[in-house]
Amino acid sequence: MKILVTGGAGFIGSHLVERLLREGHQVWTVDDLSTGKKAFLNAIISHPRHHFVHGTVLDRALLKELIQQVDLIYHLAAVLGVKNCVEHPLKVIEGNIDGTRNVLELAYPERKKVIFASTSEVYGKNSRLPYREDDERVLGSTAIHRWCYATAKALDEHLCFAYAKQGLPVTVLRYFNAYGPRATATAYGGVIPRFVTAALKGESLEVYGTGEQTRCFTYIADTVEGTFRAMSPTADGFVINIGSNRPIAIKRMAEMVKQLAGSDSPIVTIPYERAYGRGYEDMMHRQPDLTRARLLLKYEPKVDLETGLTETIRWYRQLLTDGRSDR
């Protein structure tokens, strides 16, 4: 199959491209390298079935040309990260909505299936656990920039299902805290990259808030497995949670990283206000219901947290040994 991956030089995208090539597909990768890195594709950049295009999903002419050549589109290109939401909300809103609209509008006449990468952020502050795909969303005030990413992604989902109603094959995947090699602290902004970087550099591991908040972290191999399986027609017209359903407190995560890295770094708690400014809101717990993923995709996360963290730390240690930063 001929497949387009937008954001294919990013953390999840680069791993997905490698998987698609291993499965025998022909892949076009488009990325503007604003957060992705061409180095992430070094192992397959010259693969005879891989075509890298330095470009953006905001370029409609380029996107139209690429979509006409393929059978299916994975739309992973996005502007993400809590820090971006707080500091550059307009960039987050326009970057996510405009790009997704372009992909859907151009895929529709060709009836090319679109698999859209969404986020667990859309559930917002809903306290009902575990999150089912049809649960209500509970978001904060529109004056709080924290929620602009969740809002933009939710609107993207609405666009997906509006086009699905018109006959476009669409699947929406809601990722839960993917981590692993290539999830860099500067580009991806996740808590695990921050902790691992600090632990290996002998710096303080900064836990925002009380550290009692819990999340379910998903190793990249499991994230990619669910993403790959979404090609199945059984997933058409559905939104599906992709993640692990084993929660861990953020402070406990910091302790695990410190132990596995053999680090003497201190663990300190930082008020949200100091990290993100006044008015920042967060949710205490977040956990997916994987019933639909199991039913439609036969998906089951397999990599335990200790194994995944060990691999992630090994990748970062090599990065630092080679004298490179994660920038």
Rounded Cα–Cα distance for residues 256 and 242 (Å):
23
Beta bridge partners of 207: 269
Please report the pLDDT score of residue 327 as a whole number: 44
Count other Cβ atoms within 10 Å, centred on residue 200: 19
Residue among 50, 49, 58 nearest 106 (CA): 58
Please tell us whether the domain made up of 2-176+220-243+281-302 is placed in CATH 3.40.50.720: yes
Measured distance CA(324)–CA(327) in Å, rounded: 8
List, in sequence order, every residue forming a beta bridge with 72; answer none if it has no partner.
Answer: 3, 113
Supply φ then ψ for residue 139, to 5 degrees.
-115, 160
Domain ranges within the chain, ordered by starting residue: 2-176+220-243+281-302
Residue holding tokens 């001929």?
Answer: 2
Structure confidence at residue 85 (pLDDT): 55
Q: Which of 74, 123, 149, 188 is catalytic?
A: 149
pLDDT, one tens digit for every residue, the chain (327 residues): 999 999 999 999 999 999 999 999 999 999 999 889 999 999 999 999 999 999 999 999 999 999 999 999 999 998 765 555 556 678 788 888 999 999 999 999 999 999 999 999 999 999 999 999 999 999 988 888 878 888 999 999 999 999 999 999 999 999 999 999 999 765 555 899 999 999 999 999 999 999 999 999 999 999 999 999 999 999 999 999 999 999 999 999 999 999 999 999 999 999 987 877 776 777 889 999 999 999 999 999 999 999 999 999 999 999 988 876 554
Which of 70, 29, 311, 104 shows the shortest CA–CA distance to 196? 311
pTM of the predicted structure, to 2 decimals: 0.94
Is 149 one of the catalytic residues? Answer: yes
